[in-house]
Amino acid sequence: MQIIPAIDLRGGSVVRLAQGDYQRETTFSDDPVSVANSFRDAGASMLHIVDLDGARSGTPEHISTIEAIKRSTGLRIQAGGGFRNRRSIEYVLDAGAERVVLGTVAVEDPDLVEELVLEIGAERLVVGIDARNDQVAIAGWEEQTNITTLGLLKGMTSLGVFRFVYTDISRDGTMTSPNFASTQRLAEEASQGGSVVIASGGISQLDDLLTLATTGVEAAIVGSALYRGTLDLNEAILKLDPTS
């Protein structure tokens, strides 16, 4: 299982939100490039970078930072947050991102997702399944839909998407534990359709990762536990990550 450190950007700083709440923000660094290099030095092979400002506004605001991180670290980057049209998606890929995570656009414009799968390739696209009580949330997690996690996964799989990031918003940034049951259910459903799931949200310690590794997920995104010092990235990578 690949271990992917998360860098969430807001106002130029590295921050973490609790349960996706922009009013419950903790700032950890004003130097995203330095943070990225520390993750590289700990053995990471990929970074998960989220433009929180872009997720909220609908227009990416930190592509230059993503480009600087790519240039400095040389790591593969999976970027999300506000990528809702072809121009911004192509822009961040040209800036050095390996993959772009699509959330709101997957719900609002599935035709575009289908076109991008054909034109850019499914390997470079990830659909974010962000949910509260099994219902998908969009627009920076501030707008709730009536689409279920399983419904979105099946719909996107039918369009050729094969990689998903699943986040239980109620667990994200809480340091409680992941939603293992829902994660495993989605991972099992995904595998039946030839797709894979990346787990995100609630990871606080190595034991959480060891349990996630039994659910069938391809990778796990780790954020708060690294910043708060309850998880050693190098140790986790050495125990679990064959890609690094």
d(CA 17, CA 58): 18
Check residue 21 and give its pLDDT: 67
Average pLDDT, the chain: 92
Residues acting as catalytic residues: 8, 130
Its pTM stands at: 0.94
Whether 75 contacts 40, CB under 8 Å: yes
As for how many domains the chain has, the answer is 1
Name the residue among 162, 159, 170 with its Cα closest to residue 135.
170
CATH of the domain at 39: 3.20.20.70
**pLDDT per residue over 71-86, tens digit each?**
999 999 999 999 999 9
Name the residue among 186, 198, 179 with its Cα closest to residue 149.
186
Mean pLDDT along residues 142-170: 93
Is 3 strand, coil or helix?
strand
Lowest mean pLDDT among 6-10, 129-133, 229-233: 129-133
Residue 173 banded pLDDT, cuts 50, 70, 90: low
Domain that holds residue 76: 2-240
Mean pLDDT along residues 157-166: 97
